[in-house]
A = this chain, B = another copy of it.
Amino acid sequence: MKEPRKIILPESEMPESWYNIAADIPGGLDAPLNPVTGQPVGPQDLAPLFPMALIEQEVSTERHIPIPEEVRDTLLAWRPSPLIRARNLEKLLGTPAHIYYKYEGGSPAGSHKPNTAIPQAYYNKKEGITRLTTETGAGQWGSALSYAGALFGLEVKVYMVKASYEQKPYRKLMMQAWGGSVVPSPSTETAAGRKILAEHPDSLGSLGIAISEAVEEAVGRDDTHYALGSVLNHVMLHQTVIGLETKKQFAMAGEQPDVVIACHGGGSNFAGLAFPFVGDNLTKGTKYRCVAVEPASCPSLTKGVYEYDFGDVAGMTPSMRMYTLGHDFVPPGIHAGGLRYHGASPIVSKLLNLGLIEARSAQQLDCFKAAVDFARSEGFLPAPESSHAIRAAIDEALDAKVKGEKRVIVFGLSGHGHFDLTAYDQYLSGRLENYELPEKEIEASLKVVAKMQPVSVS
């Protein structure tokens, strides 16, 4: 029989539980610390921001956490997502490797983000919350939450980094089409925003400022919670549907991946695809190589330190033990906006620190070349974030070619690039550049981190 072009799971095979890798991590996780007291953060510290169900997931060590029926039913609008064999790309590369991609761009918001936006909206709604605030940079997360809010009847307010608000009007309009209200950040609606504007009236904002605004508004209103699209444990958890499906799909295809590749910013996309495979390595003795790929210009995993640091720029969030470039590190303006984060998921960080996963970085131009090769052979136009995974997958396939190996590669195509076409235009017309990161910049921001380590860890 002909090898299938893609592997489609029936609805009945969509996972009924999320996989919680915290159950299997050797030594467990280090607790986040209260930014003021330096003491471990308890559920009550998080209650103004998140519903109890999510706080429980954040600290749970249960291996399997059931997906509520209503969440599952909503995810089924586009899940299980397809696992597609990139046969045209294989041919283009002339590689004996088999390349597969798990395509998350078919969701209504166009990326993997709704996998967590839907359950976050659901749990908040269930606990009587009527409004959610969040921040967004490039707009993927704000879109996903606006979509989820529309479905569950929650008001959604998105603080969008002003630079993106002005440069990416389509993402803003998409959020508004779903009923989300979008405010350019810094705004006059919060004390944090007003403070910035008083000092820098022309500020174009940053993710750090936008987080501060969204958190401030959520803390100040009883009807309002805050939602985060990456980094936290419960977000990683929700994304594991991706990898759980992928495992089933490989069983159907009758082969197993040697390498599992995903791009890494805050960690949710990588976690979603890779954690179920890492879990098998931990509990079943499999040896999947799991590779996180980050931008060379924002190399948290490959050039950062594994220390306690704040999740935001202003230091309002708990400090978490993670690979970080320092919370006041400002990444250059690459087009993969979703990967511009100074830190990393604490779980991903722990796994890397234990040597259980690999990390590598890629330059912007190499990623765009990979994205264009992919689009012109396979069809789907990838988001700049996803192009990092494609770059690494192609490199693995070329390495397999040199070594004459039939390597089986799977990568996460986390989103489409429909709102990133100006970046493609810049690349194709030769106007795009790599960013060389001055070592001094990292050194400086790492010094700040070194000063804030608790006595118990060091």
Contact = CB atoms under 8 A, between A and B. Distances in A.
B424 A177 contact: yes
A237 to B, nearest CB: 22
B376 A179 contact: yes
A419 B419 CA distance: 9
A421 B11 contact: no
Contacts of A406: none
A73 interface: yes
B419 A381 contact: no
A151 interface: yes
Nearest to A380: B108
A377 interface: yes
A368 to B, nearest CB: 10
A108 B150 contact: no
Contact of A174 (B10, B372, B381): B381
Contacts of A381: 108, 174, 177-178
A77 B114 CA distance: 22
A46 interface: no
A118 to B, nearest CB: 9
Which one of A6, A147, A170, A179 has the greatest number of beta carbons of chain B within 10 Å?
Answer: A170
B178 A147 contact: no
A42 interface: no
Nearest to A80: B8
Count class of interface residues, chain A: 35 or more
Interface in A182-209: none
A170 B377 contact: no
A174 B5 contact: no
Contacts of A110: 418
B418 A174 contact: yes
A344 to B, nearest CB: 30
A88 interface: yes
Interface in A416-444: 417-419, 421-422, 424-425, 428
Contact of A378 (B77, B107, B421): B77
B418 A170 contact: yes
A251 B48 CA distance: 50
Given A151-B377, A381-B108, A418-B170, A372 B77 contact: no
B177 A421 contact: yes
B178 A5 contact: no
A272 to B, nearest CB: 19
26 contacts: A4-B11, A5-B77, A8-B8, A8-B11, A77-B84, A77-B378, A77-B379, A77-B380, A88-B151, A108-B378, A108-B380, A108-B381, A114-B379, A150-B375, A150-B379, A151-B376, A151-B377, A151-B379, A169-B421, A170-B419, A173-B421, A174-B421, A177-B417, A177-B425, A178-B375, A178-B376
